[in-house]
C-alpha cells in the first residue's frame, strides 16, 4: 500500500489514517474497500456521518438526478427549490408530528459551525457571557466550541486561554454526587464565584466522552433546572442524532424539548456536509446576515438530506435500531462480559462502548489494532482513549453486526 504522498506532503495533523493505514477506494453499505480490493467492515461510520450506509442507493439516485438536471450547486443562502423541499420535509415529517415548533438555521456545514452559531445566539438572547458545559463533553474544534470541549489534547492545541465557559461535573463522575443541586448551589451562593450562564450545553450521550448515556430522569432534571433558572438548554445532537439512539432526535426518549439543538453528520444523507441549528421561534433575534458564511446550506446535501429522511421513515430505521440494540446488548452480556471482570460496557441504540479503563493503559489501542488486522474499522473514545466505540451503520444486517461483534470479542481475547 503506497502511502508516501500522504506522509510526505500532508500535514502531521492527520489522525484516523494512522489507525487505519490503508488507502480506501470504494465504500458500499457497511463496508469500505481499499485499493487492493480488501474489504473492511465499518464500525466507525464516519463518527455518525453515514448512518444510512455508504453510497445508500436510494439517496444517491436522488443526488444523481439532481446533478443530471443541472440543479443549483451553490447559492449561499438564497432561496432554492432544494432548500424549500428539505425545509418542508423536515417541518412536516420531523417537527410537526412531534409537536415541535422551531426555526431552522443553516450555519457552515460542519458540526462545530452549528455549535458556534447557537453559542453566539444564546449569548445574544440572554445578554450573558458565560456558558455551562459538562466535563467529558465534545462539541467541536473551533475556538468557541473548543472552549466547551474538555479533552486536554484538543484544548492544548488551541494556543489560547479559554474564557466564558464553566464546566460542571458529569453525573457519572462522582458516585452519589447530585450535579443538579450543585448547579443550583452555584447560582444561589453569592460566594460561588461562578457566573450565571446564558445556556447549558449537553449531549444526551457523551460519545467522545466514552459513551456515557445520560438517563431520562437526569435529562428531565436538567431541562427543569434550566427552565426554573432562566437558562437556555442547548442539546448537541451532532453525533447521536439522526436515529442513532433509536429516535430521530436523541432527546425524544426523555420527553423534553430543548430551547435550541444542533444536528450535523448524517443530516446530510450519505456523508454530504450539512449542519442545522434549531431554536424556539421567540429566540430568533438574529439580524439579517449577522451570522454569515459562503457555504451555508449545501444544495446537494439538501437533496440528500430529504432523501435520507424519506429513506429513514420508509425503512423504519428508528425501530430497527432498537431491535438491533438488543442484539448488541445480548452479545455484551453473554459474550464480552465473561472475558474479564475488568471490562464494562455502556450504550443505547447503535452506539456502544466497551471500557477497558481498568486494564493496562495501551489495552484499547492494542485491541483496536487487532480489529483492523481482522478488517474491522472501529474508533476509541473516552478518558485516556480507553473505550472502544461501536458505531455501525444503522442499516447493517444482523449477520454483519454479529460478524463485527465477534471480531471485537476475539480481539479482546487475544489482547488479554
Ligand X SMILES: Cc1ncc(COP(=O)(O)O)c(C=O)c1O
Site stretch for ligand X (CB under 6 A), options 53-61, 106-114, 252-260, 281-289: 106-114
Site stretch for ligand X (CB under 6 A), options 22-30, 35-43, 67-75, 104-112: 104-112
Residue number, 50 or 115, with CB nearest to ligand X: 115
Transcribe 256-315 into DSSP letters: ---SEEEE-GGGGTTT----EEEE-GGG--PPTTSS--TTSS-HHHHHHHHHHHHHHHHT
The nearest distance, CB 158 to ligand X, in angstroms, is 15
Site stretch for ligand X (CB under 6 A), options 16-24, 35-43, 111-119, 247-255: 111-119
Residue number, 115 or 321, with CB nearest to ligand X: 115
Residues 225-244 that bind ligand X (CB under 6 A): 236, 238-239
Site stretch for ligand X (CB under 6 A), options 110-118, 150-158, 159-167, 389-397: 110-118
Residue number, 47 or 301, with CB nearest to ligand X: 47
Site string for ligand X, 190-209 (x = CB under 6 A): -------------x---xx-
Q: In sequence order, which residues have a C-beta less than 8 Å from that of residue 381 and are 6 or more positions away?
A: 207, 208, 209, 210, 211, 353, 387, 389
Residue number, 279 or 331, with CB nearest to ligand X: 279
Residue 254 near residue 204 (C-beta atoms within 8 A): yes
Site string for ligand X, 37-66 (x = CB under 6 A): ----------x-------------------
DSSP 8-class letter at 336: I
Residue 48 near residue 268 (C-beta atoms within 8 A): no
The nearest distance, CB 39 to ligand X, in angstroms, is 26
Burial string for 355-394 (b: 16+ CB within 10 Å, else e) reads: bbbebeeebbbbbbebbbebbbbbbbbbeebbbbbbbbbb
Site string for ligand X, 262-281 (x = CB under 6 A): --x-----------------
Q: How far apart are CA 183 and CA 195, in angstroms?
A: 11
First-to-last C-alpha distance (Å) of the chain: 30
The nearest distance, CB 364 to ligand X, in angstroms, is 18
Strand partners, 381: 387
Residue number, 115 or 405, with CB nearest to ligand X: 115
111 binds ligand X (CB under 6 A): yes
Residue-level length of the chain: 416
**Cell digits for 159?**
494556543
**Residue showing the smallest CB distance to ligand X in the complex:** 111
Residue number, 114 or 359, with CB nearest to ligand X: 114
Site stretch for ligand X (CB under 6 A), options 108-116, 160-168, 217-225, 281-289: 108-116
Torsion sign over Cα 184, 188, 191, 195: positive
Residues 130-189 that bind ligand X (CB under 6 A): 138-140
Residue 251 near residue 80 (C-beta atoms within 8 A): no
Q: How far apart are CA 47 and CA 271, in angstroms?
A: 10
Chain contacts with ligand X (rule: CB under 6 A): 47, 110-112, 115, 138-140, 203, 207-208, 236, 238-239, 264
Amino acid at each position: 500500500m503506497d502511502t508516501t504522498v500522504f506522509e510526505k506532503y500532508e500535514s502531521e495533523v492527520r489522525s484516523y489514517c494512522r489507525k487505519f493505514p490503508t488507502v480506501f477506494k470504494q465504500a458500499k453499505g457497511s463496508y469500505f474497500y481499499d485499493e487492493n480490493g480488501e474489504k473492511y467492515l465499518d464500525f466507525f461510520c464516519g463518527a455518525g456521518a453515514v448512518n444510512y450506509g455508504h453510497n445508500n442507493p436510494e439517496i444517491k439516485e436522488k443526488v444523481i438526478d439532481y446533478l443530471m438536471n443541472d440543479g443549483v450547486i451553490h447559492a449561499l443562502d438564497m432561496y432554492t427549490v432544494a432548500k424549500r423541499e428539505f425545509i418542508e420535509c423536515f417541518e412536516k415529517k420531523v417537527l410537526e408530528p412531534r409537536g415541535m415548533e422551531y426555526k431552522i438555521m443553516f450555519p457552515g456545514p460542519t458540526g462545530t459551525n452549528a455549535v458556534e452559531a447557537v453559542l453566539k445566539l444564546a449569548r445574544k438572547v440572554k445578554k450573558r457571557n458565560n456558558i455551562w458545559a459538562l466535563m467529558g463533553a465534545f462539541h467541536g474544534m473551533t475556538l468557541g466550541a473548543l472552549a466547551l470541549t474538555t479533552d486536554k489534547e484538543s484544548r492544548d492545541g488551541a494556543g489560547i486561554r479559554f474564557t466564558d465557559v464553566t464546566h460542571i461535573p458529569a453525573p457519572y463522575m462522582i458516585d452519589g454526587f447530585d450535579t443538579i443541586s450543585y448547579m443550583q448551589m452555584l447560582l444561589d451562593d453569592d460566594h460561588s464565584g461562578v457566573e450565571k450562564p446564558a445556556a447549558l450545553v449537553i449531549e444526551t450521550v457523551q460519545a467522545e466522552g466514552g459513551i456515557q448515556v445520560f438517563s431520562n430522569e437526569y435529562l428531565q432534571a436538567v431541562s427543569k433546572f434550566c427552565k426554573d433558572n432562566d437558562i437556555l438548554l442547548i442539546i448537541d445532537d451532532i453525533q447521536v442524532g439522526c436515529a442513532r439512539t433509536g429516535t430521530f432526535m436523541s432527546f425524544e426518549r426523555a420527553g423534553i424539548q430543548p430551547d435550541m439543538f444542533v444536528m450535523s453528520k448524517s443530516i446530510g444523507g450519505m456523508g454530504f456536509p450539512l449542519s442545522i441549528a434549531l431554536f424556539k421561534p421567540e429566540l430568533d433575534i438574529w439580524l439579517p446576515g449577522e451570522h454569515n458564511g459562503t457555504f451555508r446550506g449545501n444544495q446537494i446535501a439538501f437533496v440528500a438530506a430529504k432523501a435520507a429522511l424519506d429513506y429513514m421513515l420508509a425503512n423504519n430505521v428508528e425501530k430497527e435500531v432498537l431491535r438491533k440494540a438488543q442484539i448488541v446488548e445480548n452479545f455484551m452480556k453473554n459474550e464480552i462480559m465473561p472475558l474479564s471482570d475488568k471490562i464494562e460496557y455502556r450504550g443505547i441504540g447503535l452506539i456502544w462502548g466497551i471500557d477497558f479503563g481498568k486494564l493496562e493503559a495501551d489495552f484499547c489501542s492494542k485491541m483496536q489494532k487487532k480489529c483492523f488486522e481482522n478488517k474491522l474499522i472501529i474508533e476509541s473514545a473516552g478518558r485516556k482513549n480507553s473505550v472502544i466505540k461501536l458505531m455501525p451503520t444503522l442499516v447493517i444486517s444482523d449477520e454483519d453486526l454479529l460478524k463485527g461483534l465477534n471480531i471485537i470479542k476475539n480481539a479482546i481475547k487475544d489482547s488479554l
